Every structure is written in C-alpha cells, then in structure tokens.
Amino acid sequence: MKKPLLSAMCFLLGALLGAVLCLLSVTLKMSHENKNAIPTVPAVPVSADGEKAEEVVEAAYSVTAAIRDGDYETLSAFVHPEYGLIVSPYSTVNLASNQCLTPVRVASIAKDDTEYIWGTRPDTGEPIRMTAAEYFSGFAYDCDFMSAPLLGVNRIVKSGNALENVASVFPEGEFVDFCVPGTDEEGLEWRILRLVFEPYEDSLRLTAVIHSQYTN
C-alpha cells in the first residue's frame, strides 16, 4: 500500500475514533445531568392557584433534591428563619414533641453525630433514635420521591388511620405531597414526603418535613 494512501486511512480512522469518543462523552454527560435534573412537570399534578402552585412545586422539588443528595447547606437556605423546621416522622404533627431545627442546625447536620429521638414507631412503640443525617437519608427519604408519580399540592394524596392535621397546624402554609404508591397487592406500602412552606418576606420558606405512610 502506498504511503499517502496509508496516511490518509490512518487520518480518517483517527478522526472517526475521535468523533465516537466525543459523542460518548456528550451522551454520558447528558445522562448524568438528566439523572440529577429537577422535573418540571409532575406525573400527576393535583393543584390549584396557578402561579402560586407552580412556585411551591418548584421549591418542593429543590428541597427534595437537597434531601436526596444530603446537601444540607442548600436545605438550610430554604428553612424558615423564624419558625425553624418541624420534622415529623408521621402525618400527625405534634409541635410539642416533634424536633424543630433552626437553619444553623440544618446546615450542620452532616457534622452532627448526636442521636435524637424523632418519634416512636407505631408498630413497636420503640423510639426512632437516629442522627439527623440518618433520619433524613434513611427515614424521611426512604423512597425515590424525586420520581414520585403522584404529586399533591395542598391536597393529601393518600392517608391511613393517622390524624391528618397539616392544615390545622399550618393554616397559612402551602404543602406538597410526593407520593410513591405501594407495590403490594393491597396497595398499603405507599410512602409520602410532605413539605410545608409558609410565607416570609415575599417568598416561601420551609417549615415542615413530614414523612407519611400507612399505619393501622
């Protein structure tokens, strides 16, 4: 084979290989970005109030992403600076017994090794004793809520036997339910991450993170 022809073939092969590698790099980057992207359209939105609902849904997805990623600095920026963040392991909120975290405490969750009691388990009555990081990653976010197919805005999507008192405890609040339906035959294994926001200086700030599931 003549040298000019060989050189031309080598050049073409090199160019082709470079294009393939470039395409692969772009594909992997897009895949990573899509994985971490915040959905703009919920699968089954249940809402009213137009722009107001859109605002609270956008804030709720940002908060959910921060909880999922363990990004407590970002999460703390959403916390209401006056009321703090009420954390309830079940749908019945009790302001006297639920943990209430200030924005400063939320920002330092990853560094806090103290175990707190977040409530009691309804099946055994045993205390839910965890660090804040363990609670948020293992209890509050116990499903892929970012991909929840059901979304309720100021509407409870599913409920069990527990008292649903979010509206009475937070009468000026807006809340979003991220619901992952149960896959069992009776449909009882559903999970909900409920986020409550209240107005503060022309914006919405997070005042409660509520975990809900079927209890009997």
pLDDT at site 135: 98
Q: List CB contacts of 69: < 8 A, sequence separation 6 or more.
A: 36
In eight-state DSSP terms, residue 136 is I
- pLDDT for 41 beyond 50: no
- pLDDT for 45 beyond 60: no
Inside any domain, residue 20:
no
What average pLDDT score do residues 90-109 get? 97
Q: Which of 17-26, 47-56, 140-149, 174-183 has the highest mean pLDDT?
A: 140-149
- pLDDT for 94 beyond 90: yes
Inside any domain, residue 2:
no
Instruction: Report residue 56 as tokens.
Output: 């609270």
Q: Total structural domains in the chain?
A: 1
What is the CA angle 167-148-183, rounded to 5?
105
Domain region containing 195: 44-213
- pLDDT for 183 beyond 80: no
Inside any domain, residue 39:
no
- pLDDT for 14 beyond 90: no
Closest CA to 149 of 200, 126, 183: 183
Inside any domain, residue 115:
yes
Inside any domain, residue 182:
yes
Inside any domain, residue 153:
yes
Q: Which of 19-33, 98-112, 161-175, 185-199 has the highest mean pLDDT?
A: 98-112
Inside any domain, residue 59:
yes
- pLDDT for 119 beyond 50: yes
Inside any domain, residue 22:
no
Look up the pTM and report it: 0.78
Rounded Cα gap, residues 26 and 31, in angstroms: 9
Q: Which of 1-10, 28-37, 136-145 has the highest mean pLDDT?
A: 136-145
**215 class by beta-carbon count within 10 Å (0-12 exposed, 13-18 middle, 19+ buried):** middle
Q: What is the CATH number of the domain that holds 142?
A: 3.10.450.50
- pLDDT for 20 beyond 60: no
- What integer best gives the mean pLDDT of the chain? 82
